Amino acid sequence: MSSLRPHLSLDRLGSVIAVLIGVALFASPFVVYRANRIVAGEGRMLTAALPPAGALGIILTGIGVALCAALLRNPLPRLAAAILGLATVVPIVGWSATFVTPLGNTFARVSPGLGFWLLALAFALLAADALTRLRLGPWVRLAAIAVAAGAIALLLLSGAWNDLSLLKEYANRADSFWQEARQHVWLAFGSMAASCLVGLPLGILAYRVRRLRAAILQILNIVQTVPSIALFGILIAPLGYLATHVPLAAALGIRGIGAAPAFIALFLYSLLPVVANTITGLNQVPAAVTDAARGMGLSPRQRLWQVELPLALPVILAGIRIALVQNIGLATVAALIGGGGFGTFVFQGIGQTAIDLVLLGTLPTVALSFATAIVFDAIIDLTRRGPT
Amino acid sequence: MIEIEHLTKRYGETIVVDDVSLRVEEGTIAVVVGTSGAGKSTLLRMINRLVEPSSGRVLIDGRDTLSIPEDELRHRIGYVIQAYGLFPHRTVSQNIATVPRLLGWDRKKIAARVDELLDLFQLDPGEFAGKFPHELSGGQQQRVGVARALAAKPAVLLMDEPFGALDPVIRSKAQDDLLAIQRRLGATIVLVTHDMNEAFHLGDRIAVMDQARLLQYAAPAELLTHPAEPFVEQLTGTAERPFRLLSLTRVKEALEPGDAEGEALVLSTTLHDALARLIALGKDALPVIDASGKAVGRITVERILAHGRLPA
């Protein structure tokens, strides 16, 4: 009777996480030390990366979290363990940077090593899994993302990470960082707003006029298949022509290269999800509901605003979410044609083989996409529940 | 009163409704029956112009519906469909308030009307006003659908298979409720169904449609005793007809003087139910009393059977 025998049941994902943690703790360098920002680095294992108390702290935390992940089923303690792990490892890597950097050496660079990344990944996986299992409501998720953003801001402002290479790159470019950040947000969100302004009416039109629907979707589909770099390139010629021949265009800052073609390309890319989801959303309004609305004497305009759009809203927002997250990523490429944004750091970094600079452009982009996706998902859930 | 005059609807070559004329008197229920695809719903939807007639016209209280703007016309005509079409993003009270709001009633008047209707349909306002349609049972949704259609006190109510989605037990209760409410409000109702029992249960007059044509429009008993065409006879159920006829007649009409032994029947009992009692009790006759309990005569199997006889 095997079922009567007491046994420890292992959580599958948890076991993988535990193995990851083990590899991170004992077989990977916690940080990488480089004499200057472009030379190859040398890994430092935990024991060499931190004073004994710090190393011990991380090892104990890591083992504790690994045990929780492998043995516990209840998502709440698993989430607590994951958060504890992240709250320990993330600040401590800054301490490690201070510890490893020789005193007064401003050329040396210390960046998080494979061990740190594996630990962060394992903890994040555990947290994400627990959060999924907890099925949190939209308000709690919004609160969670706000707390996470606050914690990251606090960490950065506290100076705990100041000796990390990433922050040293940032310190050298603090002004241009925020300028590029604004540019990135403007490119991604501004083009999204423009495509909502055009896409929503276009979607409603395509929904109402059946014959236009196929044509509109076909054209947008073709636009979507053009690779981003090619689309940026294609736009250079007509915009350049416009700029040289129409003084107003030039005055508005429209040029063959720069932000204008990037903005227009992102606008075109985000048009398809907006239009397609507007049509889908309106289409899935139950026929009985529109029939009843007509039968009660709601005019076409009243039907649209009072019945069809409110019911289509979650699907339309899902389209905007897809387009927005896609735009935040794609806006990186804008830097290639002088459009600015976080891509500037990525391409400069690649040019200089300075991986920290690449990360300075990449990490904010990823964080921005991630936060946008979570916030939008919560909003979509809220609109699905109907007004209260 | 609704007067339908030579109403025809064509889609290209296909004729969906073919030259239908009928008249629904004030405060009565006209039931349109027929097989699916007979044009019943199209006929109904031409009354509130959800479908524009190809030719012919509809008069409501003597006024040609074409002379009234579409939306305004529909504000005055209640409309109930099988799937109810409740707005899923609005509460029960918001759903019911739809047409009064379109008409610009003031807030107090709307709230009072909503509560009145919820009471009328036996839905406790405290419990149901704030609920969303998905939180209601099928029968409750149906009642809210009818309440919403009645909100602005329309003179005319159009119902397209309004009980089609209900299970049999709830359905017959909903039919009784509708009858009671109609008697109370005196509304003129046109109801489409393919359920013959429902037609006989509810209809003051029944219109039988087949292949776009109106075959017969008559009182239920006449439909049974004098079917205009074989199809009408077939639709009313050839074997069922005597029983249906008995269901339409009351004991009062077959009463004979005299006395009998046994449990008394009330004057308003249908002959169908009276015969059922006689069979069950193994009697040839039973005494009859009026509503006050006074003996008024007796009912016999022989007289009942005579009432079920159809003309050759």
**Nearest CA of chain A to the CA of B252: how many Å?**
42
The range of the structural domain enclosing residue B58 comes to 2-236
Q: Are strands B265-266 and B29-34 parallel, antiparallel or unpaired?
A: unpaired
A230 shares its domain with A361: yes
CB contact under 8 A, B50 and A295: yes
CB contact under 8 A, A288 and B73: no
Q: Phi and psi dihedrals of A37, rounded to 5?
A: -70, -15
Q: Are strands B285-289 and B265-266 parallel, antiparallel or unpaired?
A: parallel
CA–CA gap between residue B55 and residue B63 (Å, rounded): 16
Is A261 within a domain? yes
B140: Cβ–Cβ under 8 A, 6 or more apart, which residues?
A: B123, B128
Cβ contacts of A290 on chain B, cutoff 8 Å: 85
ipTM metric:
0.86
Orientation angle between helical segments A138-158 and A355-384, nearest 10 degrees: 160
Position B256 pLDDT exceeds 60: yes
Orientation angle between helical segments A52-71 and A75-100, nearest 10 degrees: 160
**Nearest CA of chain A to the CA of B66: how many Å?**
15
CA–CA gap between residue A3 and residue B224 (Å, rounded): 71
Beta-strand (E) ranges in B169-256?
A: 188-192, 205-210, 213-218
Per-residue pLDDT at A224 = 82
CA–CA gap between residue A219 and residue A81 (Å, rounded): 50
B249 shares its domain with B144: no
B218, B236, B254: which is the final residue of a domain?
B236
Is A159 within a domain? no
The range of the structural domain enclosing residue A271 comes to 174-384
Cβ contacts of B83 on chain A, cutoff 8 Å: 286, 288
Position A344 pLDDT exceeds 90: yes
Per-residue pLDDT at A8 = 64
Cβ contacts of B82 on chain A, cutoff 8 Å: 288
3-class secondary structure, A78: helix
Contact B13, B4 (CB under 8 A): no
Q: Phi and psi dihedrals of A275, rounded to 5?
A: -65, -50
Residue of A290, A291, A296 to mutate, testing the B interface (most B Cβ within 10 Å of its Cβ): A296
pLDDT tens for residues A265-297? 899 889 999 999 999 999 999 999 999 999 999
pLDDT tens for residues A127-157? 999 988 888 888 999 999 999 999 999 999 9
Side by side, the strands of the sheet bearing A42-44 are: A42-44, A31-34, A109-112
B236, B265, B292: which is the final residue of a domain?
B236
Q: How confident is the model at residue A318 (pLDDT cuts 50, 70, 90)?
A: very high
CB contact under 8 A, B70 and A297: yes
Contact A300, A204 (CB under 8 A): no
Mean pLDDT calculated for residue range A214-221:
88
Residue of B79, B99, B158 to mutate, testing the A interface (most A Cβ within 10 Å of its Cβ): B79
Q: Give just the sign of the alpha carbon dihedral A367, A373, A377, A379.
A: positive
Return the bridge partners of B11, or none. B14
CB contact under 8 A, A286 and B83: yes
Contact B278, B264 (CB under 8 A): no
H/E segment holding residue A10:
none
Please give the structure tokens belonging to residue A168: 């040293």
Residue in B50, B73, B84 closest to A288 by CB: B84
Residue in B50, B82, B89 closest to A294 by CB: B50
CB contact under 8 A, A298 and B148: no
Position A5 pLDDT exceeds 60: no
A6 shares its domain with A101: yes
Per-residue pLDDT at A237 = 76
A217 shares its domain with A361: yes
Cβ contacts of A291 on chain B, cutoff 8 Å: 50, 81, 85
Residue in B73, B79, B89 closest to A292 by CB: B79
pLDDT tens for residues B24-34? 999 999 999 99
A–B CB contacts, 8 A cutoff, strictly below: 64
**Nearest CA of chain A to the CA of B301: how many Å?**
49
B207 shares its domain with B248: no
Mean pLDDT calculated for residue range A92-113:
88
B225 shares its domain with B258: no
For residue A261, give Cα distances in angstroms to A191, A193, A326.
11, 16, 17
Per-residue pLDDT at A7 = 58
Position B57 pLDDT exceeds 70: yes
Return the bridge partners of B8, or none. B55
Indicate the number of domains in chain A. 2
Please give the structure tokens belonging to residue A56: 């011990």
B236, B253, B277: which is the final residue of a domain?
B236
Please give the structure tokens belonging to residue B301: 């199997």
CA–CA gap between residue A236 and residue B120 (Å, rounded): 69
B167 shares its domain with B281: no
Per-residue pLDDT at A246 = 76
Cβ contacts of A289 on chain B, cutoff 8 Å: 85-88
Please give the structure tokens belonging to residue B121: 């349909």
User: CB-based contact (8 Å) between A217 and chain B?
Assistant: no
Position A387 pLDDT exceeds 50: no
Which residues of B sit within 8 Å Cβ distance of A?
48, 50, 70-75, 79, 81-90, 98-99, 102, 132, 145, 148-149, 158
Model pTM score: 0.82
Contact B161, B194 (CB under 8 A): yes
Per-residue pLDDT at A365 = 95
B182: Cβ–Cβ under 8 A, 6 or more apart, which residues?
A: B29, B189
CA–CA gap between residue A31 and residue A117 (Å, rounded): 9
CB contact under 8 A, B48 and A302: no
Position A388 pLDDT exceeds 50: no
Average of per-residue pLDDT values in chain A: 88
B89 shares its domain with B178: yes
Looking up tokens 């065409």 gives B229
CB contact under 8 A, B71 and A299: yes
DSSP string covering A30-67, please?
Answer: SEEEESSSSSPPEEE-HHHHS-HHHHHHHHHHHHHHHH
**Nearest CA of chain B to the CA of A378: how many Å?**
18
Indicate the number of domains in chain B. 2
Q: Are strands A31-34 and B2-11 parallel, antiparallel or unpaired?
A: unpaired
B129 shares its domain with B261: no
Mean pLDDT calculated for residue range A168-173:
89
Is A210 within a domain? yes
Residue in B79, B86, B88 closest to A295 by CB: B79
CA–CA gap between residue A177 and residue B262 (Å, rounded): 101
